[in-house]
Amino acid sequence: MLLYGHPLSGNTHKVRLLLAALNIQYDEKVVDVTVGAHKRPDFLALNPRGQLPVLTDGASTIFDAQAILVYLARKRDPANRWLPSEPLELARVVAWLSFAANELHSGAHVARMHFLLGAPTALGQAQALAADSLRILEGHLKGKTYLELERPTVADLACFPNAALAPEGKVGLENYPHVRAWIDRIKALPFYVAMPGLEVRA
């Protein structure tokens, strides 16, 4: 398998986490978004949306971080621990994939990209949405270990990077103790791999 990504991409990192959890060997190719490599014809041939990450698995090409999580979980996790098969459990997990792709992406991710790469945006609107998303996570995580099923699933991996990196978009985590505890639990998982901004504290 070959993962096209970037070291600073939270969306790439959620895929790295599942690859590590499933003990899948893969190579990674850096796509330098700072020089627009994700908009060049060779990359657009892989993903016409011009977004990271992209995964190639033999002759198959999968783009969109959430879609890649689903693909890997279904293909390489026969016990269905990461993506349950029971309809109600599956629906609850998939709802968080939508949350990651919508609220967290449009809020925390967009605000972070503004400060990290100078991406133009309605910053106040993005930061407000990021704060709203964190409040939703905070309320849901009260009394819970993970987002669903009391075990880590693709729901947690999908939401984790952009939520945990919200401070890089100038949206603090100080008022969200349950979110912070959840972040620490994910970092403590045995397969956890770090990225810039999400290192494990010594």
- Quick: pLDDT tens for 52-83: 999 999 999 999 999 999 999 999 999 999 99
Statement to judge: residues 94 and 39 lie in one domain: no
Statement to judge: residues 100 and 21 lie in one domain: no
Q: Are 89 and 73 spatial neighbours (Cβ–Cβ below 8 Å)?
A: no
Using CA atoms, how far residue 74 sits from 46, 151, 163, 172, in Å, is: 22, 17, 25, 35
Residues sharing a CB contact under 8 Å with residue 161, sequence separation 6 or more, in sequence order: 10, 11, 13, 14, 195, 198
* pLDDT tier at 142, thresholds 50, 70, 90: very high
Tell whether 136 is covered by a domain.
Answer: yes
CA atoms within 13 A on the CB side of 9: 25
Query: How many helices (H) and strands (E) would you count in the chain?
Result: 8, 4
Statement to judge: residues 61 and 35 lie in one domain: yes
Q: What percentage of the chain exceeds 90 in pLDDT?
A: 94
d(CA 100, CA 115): 20
Tell whether 31 is covered by a domain.
Answer: yes
Over 90: is that where the pLDDT of 108 sits?
yes
What is the amino acid identity at position 60?
A: S
Q: What percentage of the chain exceeds 70 in pLDDT?
A: 99
Asked which of 43, 76, 109 is the last residue of a domain, the reply is 76
Helix (H, G, I), strand (E, B) or coil at 62: strand
* pLDDT tier at 90, thresholds 50, 70, 90: very high
Statement to judge: residues 98 and 177 lie in one domain: yes
Statement to judge: residues 126 and 176 lie in one domain: yes
State residue 200's pLDDT score.
84
State residue 65's pLDDT score.
97
Tell whether 197 is covered by a domain.
Answer: no
For strand 54-57 and strand 27-30, is the pairing parallel, antiparallel, or unpaired? unpaired
Statement to judge: residues 104 and 51 lie in one domain: no
> Beta strands of the chain (E only): which ranges?
2-5, 27-30, 54-57, 60-63
Instruction: Please write the tens of the pLDDT for every residue from 16-41.
Output: 999 999 999 999 999 998 888 999 99
∠ at Cα 89 (51, 77), nearest 5°? Answer: 60
Which residue from 164, 125, 118 is spatially nearest to 141, judged by alpha carbons?
A: 164
Tell whether 202 is covered by a domain.
Answer: no
CATH of the domain at 176: 1.20.1050.10
Q: Which domain holds residue 172?
A: 87-187
Q: How many domains does the chain have?
A: 2
Asked which of 32, 57, 76 is the last residue of a domain, the reply is 76
Over 60: is that where the pLDDT of 202 sits?
no
Average pLDDT score over residue span 85-98: 98
Statement to judge: residues 16 and 65 lie in one domain: yes
Q: Are 175 and 169 spatial neighbours (Cβ–Cβ below 8 Å)?
A: no
Statement to judge: residues 69 and 129 lie in one domain: no
State residue 146's pLDDT score.
98
* pLDDT tier at 117, thresholds 50, 70, 90: confident
Tell whether 198 is covered by a domain.
Answer: no
Statement to judge: residues 37 and 110 lie in one domain: no
CATH of the domain at 58: 3.40.30.10
Q: Are 161 and 14 spatial neighbours (Cβ–Cβ below 8 Å)?
A: yes
Statement to judge: residues 18 and 71 lie in one domain: yes
